[in-house]
């Protein structure tokens, strides 16, 4: 099931070929990668971009592990650009790429390359990431599903949909799960293993005992 995110898709379309790194930010599991690799790519494909002119690296995929090295990633991208047509560079979980700021700024010197990145560590949840690109970063910040987006895939009444939305929220994966037990389990795991980790990293928390108590609640 595909959940359309037209507002954010239009933001990406408007930012296309603006000579900046498009940095897609937002909380974990809110749909950043799906927006880029599915919705935006489909739009570009339908408007004349062929598969050869997409360059995609998902740094959390074991198959792409060697490209976490800065020179390997840069040389791979450069080797793929063999004509003067527009290329679209999609990089997922870019925080796993060493010296990623320098690599991305290097890509900006390629005249027919348009660069888009997502990331999931604490740095990408803050405004700090934009400063790394020295005025050449364009942030597209996305949120979990709005109620109207939620209702576009919800089969019940508006009243029942609202009750479920305010209970479980709008993370796309939660919306697509069927049982209340699965939804609650997913949210608990995300909170305990993901968001708490980001809070500790972002704020350099040394004494995590109180946060650990929250994980066990």
pLDDT of residue 214 exceeding 70, the answer is no
CA angle 115, 76, 20 (to 5 degrees): 15
Contact 163, 86 (CB under 8 A): no
pLDDT of res. 26: 86
pLDDT of res. 11: 96
pLDDT of res. 209: 66
pLDDT of res. 188: 87
Average pLDDT of the residues in 44-64: 96
State what percent of residues in the chain have pLDDT above 70: 83
Average pLDDT of the residues in 149-156: 93
pLDDT of residue 127 exceeding 90, the answer is no
Confidence band (pLDDT; 50, 70, 90) for 185?
very high
Higher-scoring residue by pLDDT: 97, 212 = 97
- Tens of pLDDT, residues 86-125: 999 999 998 899 988 889 989 999 999 999 999 876 655 5
pLDDT of res. 25: 87
pLDDT of residue 35 exceeding 80, the answer is yes
Mean pLDDT of the chain: 88
pLDDT of res. 123: 59
> Per the structure block, which two tokens stand in for 77?
């991208």
Contact 153, 46 (CB under 8 A): no
Contact 150, 165 (CB under 8 A): yes
Higher-scoring residue by pLDDT: 111, 201 = 111
């Amino acid at each position: 099931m595909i959940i359309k995110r037209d507002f954010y898709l239009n933001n990406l379309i408007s930012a296309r070929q603006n000579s900046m790194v498009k940095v897609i930010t937002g909380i974990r599991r809110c749909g950043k990668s799906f927006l880029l690799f599915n919705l935006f790519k489909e739009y570009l494909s339908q408007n004349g971009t062929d598969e050869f002119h997409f360059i995609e690296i998902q740094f959390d995929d074991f198959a792409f592990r060697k490209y976490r090295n800065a020179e390997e990633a840069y040389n791979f991208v450069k080797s793929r650009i063999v004509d003067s047509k527009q290329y679209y560079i999609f990089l997922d979980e870019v925080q796993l790429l060493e010296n990623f700021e320098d690599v991305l700024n290097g890509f900006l010197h390629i005249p027919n390359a348009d660069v888009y990145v997502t990331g999931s560590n604490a740095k990408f949840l803050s405004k700090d990431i934009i400063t790394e690109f020295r005025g050449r970063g364009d942030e597209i910040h996305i949120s979990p599903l709005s109620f109207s987006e939620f209702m576009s895939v919800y089969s019940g009444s508006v009243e029942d949909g609202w009750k479920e939305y305010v209970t479980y929220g709008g993370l796309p994966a939660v919306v697509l799960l069927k049982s209340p037990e699965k939804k609650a389990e997913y949210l608990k795991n995300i909170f305990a293993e993901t968001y708490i980790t980001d809070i500790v990293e972002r704020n350099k928390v040394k004494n995590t005992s109180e946060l650990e108590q929250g994980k066990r609640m």
